[in-house]
Structure 1
Amino acid sequence: MSDDLRPPRPTEYTLSVVVPAYNEAETLPELHRRLTSVLDTVGATCEVIYINDGSRDKTIAVMHALRTQDSRVTVIDLSRNFGKEIALTAGLDHARGHAVIVIDADLQDPPELIPQLIDEWKNGFDVVYAKRIARDGETALKKFTAAAFYRVIRAISRTQIPADTGDFRLLSRRAVDALKQIRERHRFMKGLFAWIGFPQKAVEYKRDPRHAGTTTFNYWKLWNFAIEGITSFTTGPLKFATYAGVFVAFVSFIYALVIVYETLVHGNPVPGYPSLMVAVLFLGGVQLLCIGIMGEYLGRLFNESKNRPLYLVNEYSPAPSIAHGIPEPAPQNAPQSAASR
């Protein structure tokens, strides 16, 4: 899109920063210190939205302490742990800014990059995502699996999800409004950010190690997260099940012809018990794999059909400064209750 076709940005604008957190009591004070030092320089009316995703430590108490110290802080306490993707959705539902920054609470993503994201937003881009060129503090296995996942999903999905990119990004108001229309339960936000389209641009950066604590994403959770992303944005596994069935049936038919030929022409006996067991176990394994793939999709349809709200809010404490300069959002999602579909 040419520069003259990109939507103009207001000279005076409001900025929302959305921070989902789970057991991040140790990192939040330092995050807020660095965050506010950046926000003080951007020349915008700002709000910082902290979402407590059912933390078991003192995260909610730290959030309220930050709200007492800084009138720009909003606290959303979810009724339980709904997962990062849902907590992020809750933050976007309540964000009021012309531009919205999404950043993790672990300080692996530097708040000091925010001015660069804002500059690209002012140039007319609706989604400005931070692309990692280095991942300090992570194991070689973690880096390899992350790189492999993004390349696999790009290869099998029609939605081109940027590689080496997390949730750290800036969204324009119309991008946020578009995301708020998507109320599916199985949410892969990195895919949704790409799916909405609009002009997008990458800003490269080096990712830092965690400031404190340990990550709650072990390899089992990352595996399930990968399955969530793949099943949310492609039917490739279902096609694989179809192609695997066709291939196995074709090979089995050819093998059956070979056995008939060998028996009738050369008088060779039919292969015995070992070969029979191998064939049965192989076919059984393929069938179970295909049934499992279909079960993953069927389970997601079942969850979507229940039509439950995405989340429930235990407490909503808006920033004291909201009434001064940041208007209320359109009444699409009631802030005091669940965000319905």
Structure 2
Amino acid sequence: MAKLISIVTPCYNEEGNVEELYRRIAKVMENLPYEYEHICIDNCSTDSTVAKLKVLAAQDKRLKIIINARNFGHITSPYHALLQSHGDACILIASDLQDPPEMIVDFVRKWEEGFKTVLAVKPESEESTVMFFIRKTYYRMISRISEVSLVNNATGAGLFDKVVIEILRKLQDPYPYFRGLLCEIGFPIATVPFKQPRRQRGVTKNNFYTLYDIAMLGITNHSKVPLRLMAMGGFLLAIISMLAALGFLIAKLIFWNSFQLGVAPILIGMFFFGAIQMLFIGLLGEYIGSIHTKIRNMPLVIESERINFDVPE
């Protein structure tokens, strides 16, 4: 019996892309010697995405749909869909077609070579130069401070053997940094480089908050370096403050009548130390927020509907 490959495509307001996405995935899988299921998880779209998916699912029982009760965000929704897969391997790609479905062939080839984890990486991209530079800088930084070696420029798309998926099920992480978890598991990771195309239809769902969210998630989940920098920075600033105070005292004692401290240094010092304190408190808040999210143990998503999951494989 042929092995089963699960293909997961998370979507939100992708009415202009889901039909082409379905066709391109079906075309790729026609040329591979595997059975497949296509799991599309919709994060409570407000356009006609779900309606179009239901039409396709009525024609092809291999297309399975999960509809979330509300928008649960870009982190938990794809992760939940991965855990619902039943394949010998599971492939995750974006539904905006910026992860070309044709990469599935390269993912499967690496899997057949024995890799349990395969990740797509984008050493170059057609997105804005500034955003691409910021992403590369972030991944370089997080790789240096992380407790495990991370894959630079990974998009999150890739193939994961059923062994990896089973480990992820046991972890029960309610708000995972997925790329970091894959590296923490420890299996050798194969990479598939590609040039990411520009989005052709629809509007990107990423904004400053979502990008900041995933950036801080990567830091708080996989590094204690910021916490230790706070402790060392506080100690260093205390020493500098004491030395500055001693210097001012000596200057005042030597030049008692002529030395005037003035208001400007006091204000500058107050604003500087106030800013440092706010930065440290903010970083501590991120770590505390991460802990709070995990101890609540909320489900990844709440589903409102499933389609075609009751169909025998």
What interval of TM-score do these two structures reach, taking the shorter chain for normalisation?
over 0.9
Asked if 1 retains the 8 angstrom alpha-carbon contact of 2:77 and 2:300, the reply is no
1:111 equivalent to 2:111? Answer: no
| Alpha-carbon distance, 1:54 to partner | 1.3
Asked if 2 retains the 8 angstrom alpha-carbon contact of 1:14 and 1:99, the reply is yes
Deviation per residue, 1:140-178 (Å, 9 max, x gap): 111111101100100111122211111110000101111
| Alpha-carbon distance, 1:25 to partner | 1.2
Deviation per residue, 1:103-133 (Å, 9 max, x gap): 0000011111211211111111000111213
Structure 1 residue corresponding to 2:69, chosen from 55, 79, 101: 79
Deviation per residue, 1:73-101 (Å, 9 max, x gap): 11111111011221111211210000110
User: Which SS does the other structure have where 2:10 is aligned?
Assistant: strand
2:90 aligned residue: 100
1:197 equivalent to 2:186? Answer: yes
TM-score (norm 2): 0.95
Higher relative helix content: 2
1:121 equivalent to 2:84? Answer: no
2:262 aligned residue: 272
Measured in 1, the distance between the counterparts of 2:209 and 2:76 equals 19
Measured in 1, the distance between the counterparts of 2:281 and 2:243 equals 24
Asked if 1 retains the 8 angstrom alpha-carbon contact of 2:175 and 2:300, the reply is no
Residue type at the aligned position of 1:311: V
Structure 1 residue corresponding to 2:202, chosen from 188, 192, 213: 213
2:170 aligned residue: 181
| Alpha-carbon distance, 1:32 to partner | 0.7
% same residue: 30
Asked if 1 retains the 8 angstrom alpha-carbon contact of 2:156 and 2:178, the reply is yes
| Alpha-carbon distance, 1:285 to partner | 1.6
Structure 2 residue corresponding to 1:59, chosen from 49, 56, 76: 49
1:165 equivalent to 2:154? Answer: yes
Spell out the pairing of 1:2-151 with structure 2 (5 A cutoff): 12-136=2-126, 138-151=127-140
Measured in 1, the distance between the counterparts of 2:296 and 2:253 equals 58
User: Which SS does the other structure have where 1:91 is aligned?
Assistant: helix
Residue type at the aligned position of 1:153: I
Measured in 1, the distance between the counterparts of 2:189 and 2:173 equals 23
1:302 aligned residue: 292
Measured in 1, the distance between the counterparts of 2:56 and 2:228 equals 50
TM-score (norm 1): 0.87
Asked if 2 retains the 8 angstrom alpha-carbon contact of 1:186 and 1:232, the reply is no
Change (3 A) 1:64 1:154: same
User: Which SS does the other structure have where 2:198 is aligned?
Assistant: coil
| Alpha-carbon distance, 1:319 to partner | 4.6
User: Which SS does the other structure have where 1:111 is aligned?
Assistant: coil
Measured in 2, the distance between the counterparts of 1:226 and 1:272 equals 42
User: Which SS does the other structure have where 1:181 is aligned?
Assistant: helix
Asked if 1 retains the 8 angstrom alpha-carbon contact of 2:61 and 2:308, the reply is no
Measured in 2, the distance between the counterparts of 1:212 and 1:123 equals 35
Structure 1 residue corresponding to 2:221, chosen from 232, 246, 249: 232
Deviation per residue, 1:228-267 (Å, 9 max, x gap): 2212211222122212211211110110111121122343
